[in-house]
Amino acid sequence: MSTPVLEARGISRHFGHVKALEGVNFRVYPGEICALIGDNGAGKSTLVKILSGADRPDGGTILIDGQPVSLASPSVAQQLGISTVYQDLALAPELTPVDNLFLGREELLPGLLGKLGCLDRASMRRKAVGQFARLGVSLRSLKVPISTLSGGQRQSVAIARAAMWADRVIFLDEPTAALGVVQTERVLELIRQVRASGIAVVLISHNMPQVLEIADRVEVLRLGRSVGQLSTAGARVEDLVTAMTSGAAAEESR
């Protein structure tokens, strides 16, 4: 049995009288795509915020590679190899794909020029080209503002950026919600490439056929509680819907 790369044990988060999360358990293992599913208001976003350092739980423990950690902020989570791509993508529309990959992490030239704030554009471009090639992301141009790219290409840049700076887990919040069929398939292929690079992917999705298509395993929330997990091998959409609505997911052992 392998150790989860990221685990939540007994996580609770209350907003006034609303129990958004109550004793929630969650695990994601190295090298897997894990879907986090649940009906509206089940607590998915709240759990993702807590596991990416954007919110603090009222109780419970978070472990990375089996060791308890405190994710006090998104930057602490990022330093520990956890990154999140929210639906707004947090890209700078007027900047190029290369600039967006290095947003907030720009490389400076060595020596005096660097001390004067001159960017090492050649190095950043070389690394960006390598990253896009590794993940199979093909863009019309690396020099145009990202606002001129398609929605699928922008999503791909956001995922490639997350994969560049996180080496453990990437959370993806409905990454194909706004995309057409062809762009959706490209983004799903990119997600598989991220998994192949050794990074665990957590996919938050309401699209059950897609969950079955791409995820290895599913963790289910219902009304702020974890109701178990199941493997997608041999599972049907009805099984996922049953798990979300009646809390009857099989708690399988690994």
Which parts of this chain interact with ligand ATP (CB under 6 A)?
15, 18, 20, 38, 40-46
Amino acid residing at 145? P
> Which is closer to ligand ATP, CB of 40 or CB of 138?
40
Shortest separation between residue 227's beta carbon and ligand ATP, angstroms: 13
> Which is closer to ligand ATP, CB of 48 or CB of 98?
48
Nearest alpha-carbon partner for 204 in 74, 46, 70, 61:
46
* Cα separation, 128 vs 233, whole angstroms: 35
* Cα separation, 34 vs 215, whole angstroms: 5
> Which is closer to ligand ATP, CB of 39 or CB of 65?
39
Whether 91 contacts 100, CB under 8 Å: yes
* Cα separation, 173 vs 68, whole angstroms: 25
Nearest alpha-carbon partner for 172 in 140, 227, 209, 214:
214
Whether 6 contacts 50, CB under 8 Å: no
Determine the Cα angle at 119 with ends 113 and 122, to 5°: 110
Shortest separation between residue 185's beta carbon and ligand ATP, angstroms: 24
Shortest separation between residue 50's beta carbon and ligand ATP, angstroms: 10
* Cα separation, 223 vs 21, whole angstroms: 8
> Which is closer to ligand ATP, CB of 30 or CB of 41?
41
> Which is closer to ligand ATP, CB of 19 or CB of 127?
19
Shortest separation between residue 210's beta carbon and ligand ATP, angstroms: 15
> Which is closer to ligand ATP, CB of 40 or CB of 253?
40
The two structure tokens encoding residue 69: 């950690």
Shortest separation between residue 71's beta carbon and ligand ATP, angstroms: 16
Q: How far is CA 222 from CA 28, 43, 185, 228, 232, in A?
A: 18, 8, 29, 10, 18
Shortest separation between residue 158's beta carbon and ligand ATP, angstroms: 19
